[in-house]
Structure 1
Amino acid sequence: MNDIIVKTEPTLPALPTTFLPAITELTQSLGIPREMLASAEEIEYAWRDLPREIREIPEALRGELVARMCVAVSAGLFDGAMNYIWNAAVLHLRSKIRVFGLPVVAQIRQKDFEEKHLLELQDSQLLELCLKLNIIDEDGYFFLDQSRGVRNNFSAAHPTLGKVNDREFSTFLNRCVRYALADSSSPKGVDIGAFISAVKGPRFNDNQCSIWIQRLIETHDSQRQMLVIMVHGVYCDPNTPEQARLNSLDICNGLLESLNAAMRSELINNHSEYVAKGYEEKHAASLQFFEKLGLLHLLNESEQHVIFSRAVERLWNVHNGMNNFYNEPAFAERLLELSLQSAAPETVLEEYVQTIGCCRVGNGYGFSNAAASYYDQMVKNFSPREIATLIQSATSKENPLGKRLSFGGSYRSNFKELLGLIDPGSVPNIVRAQYLHLSN
């Protein structure tokens, strides 16, 4: 159960009645116009808005820099307050990168990345790295980068181009809080080298597999996508041992709910590259990868045709071979699994329906009892088009199913049982008369 985070809004003290007049006295004593500093009204409005913004900052992050920001606001020094809150945001983003893992960042950047490199990053480079690591999203990068420009030109960090008023400061503060400080969670990066070594190593045990799946779930989408694509590549490599392939499937099975549209699209792109480059072994393995994960519906119809056609052909060959009653169940089960993932393509629909019908009505010796439940399930799931194809095939002596039924006897009684599995409401009108005739 997730802990409920209660945000507490701090109660700031009221500005002393002597404080604002003191600012006026100070400017007079220095002989400068009062307008050179923030007006009393601007200070009061900025001070009034502070608690709402500070409420969004986790208490653990309300440290020295936030306190200094508040003091600066109370004196109308918005340029100094901007610098303090910006520095707090930068320090927090650096902390998130440390949590992510400096060695993992080095792997992603493909060059050394240690503490000194993190500290040497300019603010613009820091924001770019946070975007790449998905620590901030594109909206966050856009607004924080704008704030970086405001901070460089209008804060006390550098000679300023002008002054900011209370509303401009409040906007700056809101962006630093919303896109950098409000989120105290930090995704943890996955050590790419260790992960790939584990996948390519001995067969996972349950605990080991769960740990790696959890690590991938806890990291950000971009790295998860990259690692899933790498695992797909491992599976499709002809030189990959079977244990590594099984490890790859275990990982991806555990991440199925986390595979967003971008990840699925990238998998399809990888698969299409194998086709485009003529990598037949990798392409065949990739088809198997999609099938094993129940993702056949992502493939185009021509590739679904190949998979269905092969499964139907193998079942038909086994049905007509020796010991078919014992050999059929495994092939029937595989065809059922395929049909549950995706509807049979139009190009193989007739072959698919007739094969199931023939196997279920059996041969002269009966049918495979062990495979019957698989056939029955497929027939129950028949679409109206498949139902029409089944009935039309049964009434034509020019195809295997019609020929068998012409012999009568057990063929017809088994087929009548088969028709009993079909909901009458699903029978198309075009074959309803034939359906009623065969049922009776």
Structure 2
Amino acid sequence: MENNIAVLWSKTDTPVLPKKVNNISELVSLGMQLSSKDQSQIIRTFEDGSYEMVSTYIWTKSINSLRNQLSKMGMSFIAEMLDRPDINEHTNLQQAISEFEAIKLAEELGVISPTSAFRLKQAMQTVTHFNQPELEDDPENELTEEEAKIIVRSCIQGILGYNRIEAAIDFKNFRTDLEEKTLTEDSVYIYKLIQSPYFFHRTTIRILLSLVKSASGAQLENSLANSNLIIPKIWEGLKHPERYQIGRSYSELFADGKNRAASGLKQVLLKVKGFDFVPEDLRSSSFIKAANEVLIAHEGMNNFYNEPAPLRTLYNMGSVIPIPAFPVCITAILSVRLGNWYGVSRAAQDTATEMLKNITQERWVFFFNELLETDDRILYKLTQDSPSSRWMKLFSDKFIDSILTQIQHRDIINLLKFTKEKKQSRVNKIASEMYVKLGYGDK
């Protein structure tokens, strides 16, 4: 394992493109994954002025390529990484995970660089916005040549400029080592893990749980031994979503009669006094699945049209959200309410607003103390002008004053204070700094 540590903690090098590319032909020629036919079609369509068409084409090709690369890790691993219990080995990955999830996961695993992830997310939002049916036949809402060129460049520099992306293979080796070797207290890996950004802790937890669920024999013993060593060392720093994931995995293993695996995780939970995070029933899974459907719609094409139905389904499940499901549910509701830099789904706003009203002050304190600090989706939105402007209107001055004394983290306290003072640029700055602390974006 020690040989793989440097690979685990490094990001892939992004192909260096010239700062200025004179024409679309020169730019497209750098796309190593683009066939001659692809290149000719992109150039011809671009020169014809069909910028929406060429942007959608190259974006679809790029995101499908990224999903294919991720699928090599196995669907069970993808399910654990994204905390998506609805994904299994028979799931079609192209349809199952959103574009945002694919980019986020690729960045976490070092498949793409933070800068490429940032550019790809912006390209995703631009393509999604201009593919809305209601914008058709309105000349004021047409994609410009420069916007199309930025999308093409982002796709080539982030994904299509590689023959293939090797980082995923290295991460598979890391997973194999966790399964086939037993770490010791003095392992360099343990030291590096403790010093690493939070998403590496989250990634390691999800890898271990995936292995514990799928391995047998000696591999299971190694995975359990590593879980008993690693999880207690990082437990104090783990946020509630990861703690509930461990508790839920134990519950599922116990229910499935996988006694050895369940017993191993039980030992972990006993060490950290973590049985408060074991769900009492499967109601949480239903809420988690419904919330993930909202996020898939929100982060997919034609999102403004597709968001209301799954959000209404989540709303109809009841106003009291089980605690294990609350992290993904609040992320889904806030994502719809805040929208993206192009706007919001108007048809979903009343439902989202009503759901936010049903959240108790105690739950909001829980969100600010335990969830927001590691909620990369919401933090990313708060770095952008349009979503953050909507955030400024969510909370009354009276509400913010009533919870400030209960908030523990300095960054969150400042975020709330600047929210109250309507200092949007300061909110953007704090959210950006928190996003970087998580391990995303450029330092």
Q: TM-score range by the shorter chain?
A: 0.3 to 0.5
Q: TM-score, normalised by structure 1?
A: 0.34
Q: Which protein is bigger by CA-based radius of gyration? A: 1
Q: TM-score, normalised by structure 2?
A: 0.34
